[in-house]
Amino acid sequence: MFEECQLLGRRRPYLPFRRLNVPMQPGLVVVVEDDAAIADVQRRYLVAAGFGVHTERDGRAGLDAIRRLRPVAVVLDVGLPSLDGVEICRTLRAEGDWTPVLFVTARDDEVDRVLGLELGGDDYLTKPFSPRELVARVKGVLRRMSGPPAPVRVLGGLQLDEGRREVSVDGRPVALTATEFDLLAKLMSSPGRVFTREQLLSSVWGQADYSGGRTVDVHIAQVRAKLGDASPITTRRGVGYAVEEPRG
């Protein structure tokens, strides 16, 4: 699988990076492409750019390779035997795998399907393409690697949009400070779970000591006051705070 690294004769996998004069490998890219000539060009240019490359010609084999090898990026032909590129990407995302994907499309209808995925950081390239453009796009998706879209959390009439950093109650916006927002977002990330003051301090304020426990209490009081009856925050005496799903 690391044949390309060995072919170049300049680095081997799993070599400790502390060795001098060995450039840091930018990572392994899995290329899934059933056209052998195209796959070969893709591999050669990516290797020249310093990537390790593993290629597969078949969709299912490609999906298996991505799961097994955990590459830094995937170059995915859309039209593939056994499982097409869009289905491979959907499967990965459903499994919580947000490895950046560069789709390679051959037809306009394929472009439409890829764009329909709305997967944010990913990109596509239309055949025919220049191999240099391919390398530039792979580097681009790596730069934009953004993880899953920020969730919108809903508890009863309360809605918290992590991407837009907006909170509303029954559709009416509620103005929270940045700290209040982070505190509520942390609690709402895991309804029913009790967070201790130390946990909230470390994740919201970046503090590792307990001396700021009162700070947490004050901000919790402010969030409750702003949310009014819609506040889902409950106090666990002697433990910390949680948010609860509304009853009924």
Residue number, 4 or 77, with CB nearest to Ca ion = 77
Least distance to Ca ion from the beta carbon of 80, Å?
6
Give me the amino acid identity at 94. Answer: A
Least distance to Ca ion from the beta carbon of 219, Å?
54
The footprint of Ca ion (CB under 5 A) covers 34, 77, 79
Residue number, 27 or 79, with CB nearest to Ca ion = 79
Least distance to Ca ion from the beta carbon of 93, Å?
21
Q: Which residue is nearest to Ca ion (CB)?
A: 79
Sorted by sequence, the CB contacts under 8 Å of residue 239 that are 6+ apart come out as 194, 196
Residue number, 62 or 232, with CB nearest to Ca ion = 62
Residue number, 50 or 79, with CB nearest to Ca ion = 79
Residue number, 77 or 180, with CB nearest to Ca ion = 77
Least distance to Ca ion from the beta carbon of 77, Å?
4
Least distance to Ca ion from the beta carbon of 81, Å?
8
